Structure 1
């Protein structure tokens, strides 16, 4: 059975496209600046079989995946360490709160001076942006562990490491995956933004730059639409993974609510 929320979302998007199409045809919008919705949809459909664009999509997904994996490998252990050691977290927290709001794209000129290639620049800024959601959610997940469960294991003679592996990490896992889901969306935005600012041999952002240089606004918008669709698909897959892997967490959250 189709999820009613999906149906409502499709109806909402269709309604928005219909309004945009009507506004363009009525002359309320300059179609040279903002093409008709039907034109954008047609161009987006054409890009799905455009070999050059598909190569650019592959390039974007490559740096996105590399940056996201590195961010997870860095942020999860650090989050576990800080979440397990309150005194260390209290000492490091001011630094985290200082660094976290800095826009990753603002670091591109600095990173470009240090990194040897465009790919490294993109991966570096993606890692910087994607680390924070994973790190913070991992820390919060460890804070949310049931203290009774930890005390019970300690009462049976289990040490700190055993409590961490048997209780803390399984309990924090849903929070970690939520952080990964948020980081995946952030990483995709930063990947395309880095391509727009730093350029490179390929990528969705590079394709948009090329389309803009030829005054093809329709292709620019169509490529941006595909970036949004990719982000939507990634988020949907990770939400599905959360529901399948951590049904117990969803049930507990529902009871708590």
Structure 2
């Protein structure tokens, strides 16, 4: 059975289970609507201009946050990997910062930079740094020593070595880190939008739907849209990795 059929069958099974639970007596009426009520709301929302603007706001915030995090994490990871002294000196600070929940920093971010798009982008950067940074740093450790020795014998200096040998070797692993960071950034952005209520986006739309006369069908519809957005981003990055770094896939299959 192909992977596509397996994925579709798993998705269909999840929808059937959701429909059965939504129509059961486990929840009060309207508290957990089934997909037959949620998906029409998805279609209606996608035809609403204000909701599309919210969707664009969240998507742009995630994209900007990932771009900034990549621009910081990749050079930092490569630099620390090449400097054992700096790596040892910074380890305690990094291990202290990494477990911090970004959502818990919302009040501090709002005080420092306000409750607009800057705060959610800044926290998305903070949350996205770690998978990209650690994937890059440990990938540098795994660069083939023969490549480095050959480059040195050809007269490569540190800068040229970094650009021509190390960077191409670690980029596939950094892209894997970006794939891992994408759903993290998306969840952080939506959470900050919900908590601040001032920067729009999908989180703001959830907050509106859950306030006053709670519309759980709309809330779940927005959650479905967020899930599709995350899935599409992950699938797009996976296809990009396969196209640009197809040799990594071929080597992995050969190893199997």
Same fold (TM over 0.5): yes
Report if aligned partners of 2:98, 2:130 keep a CA contact under 8 Å in 1.
Answer: yes
Partner of 2:237: 238
Tell me if 1:175 matches 2:188: no
C-alpha displacement at 1:31, in angstroms?
3.3
The equivalent position to 1:49 in structure 2, one of 47, 50, 74, is 47
For structure 1, the 5+ residue unaligned runs are none
User: CA 1:151 to 1:232, structure 2 compared with 1: closer, same or farther past 3 Å?
Assistant: same
Output the CA distance in 2 between the equivalents of 1:254 and 1:86. 34
**Unmatched 5+ stretches in structure 2:** none
- Whole-angstrom distance in 2 between the partners of 1:201 and 1:112: 11
Moved more, 7-16 or 210-219: 7-16
Deviation at 1:28, TM superposition (A): 3.8
Q: State the alpha-carbon separation in 2 of the partners of residues 24 and 128 from structure 1.
A: 37
1:37 and 1:17 map into 2 onto residues whose CA distance is: 7
Distance 1:103 1:204 in 2: 20
Contact 1:118–1:199 at 8 Å: present in 2 too? no
Question: Distance between the aligned counterparts of 1:87 and 1:64, measured in 2?
Answer: 34
Q: CA deviation at 1:26?
A: 4.0
d(CA) in 1 for partners of 2:32, 2:167: 49
Which of residues 34, 37, 40 in structure 1 aligns to 2:35? 37
Paired residue total: 255
- In the other structure, the counterpart of 1:202 is 200
1:226-251 deviations in whole A, cap 9, x for unaligned? 00100000000000001111111122
Query: 1:248 maps to which residue?
Result: 247
Structure 1 match to 2:110: 112
CA RMSD of aligned residues (A): 1.6
Q: Distance in 2 between matches of 1:234 and 1:147?
A: 34
Cα 1:176–1:35 shift into 2, 3 Å: same
Q: State the TM-score, normalized to the length of structure 1.
A: 0.93
**Is the CA contact 1:76–1:134 (under 8 Å) kept in the aligned structure 2?**
yes
Q: Is the 8 A contact 1:24 1:30 kept in 2?
A: no
Residue 26 and residue 75 in structure 1: after superposition, are their counterparts in 2 closer, same or farther (change >3 A)?
Answer: closer
Q: Residue 93 of structure 2 aligns with which residue?
A: 95
**CA–CA distance in structure 2, aligned partners of residues 170 and 201 of structure 1:** 38
2:65 to 54, 64, 67: 67
Q: Is the 8 A contact 2:66 2:185 kept in 1?
A: yes
C-alpha separation in 1, matches of 2:207 and 2:192: 12
Deviation string 1:55-113 (CA, Å, 9 cap, x unpaired) is: 11111112222212111111111112112222221221221111111011111111111
TM-score by length of 2: 0.94
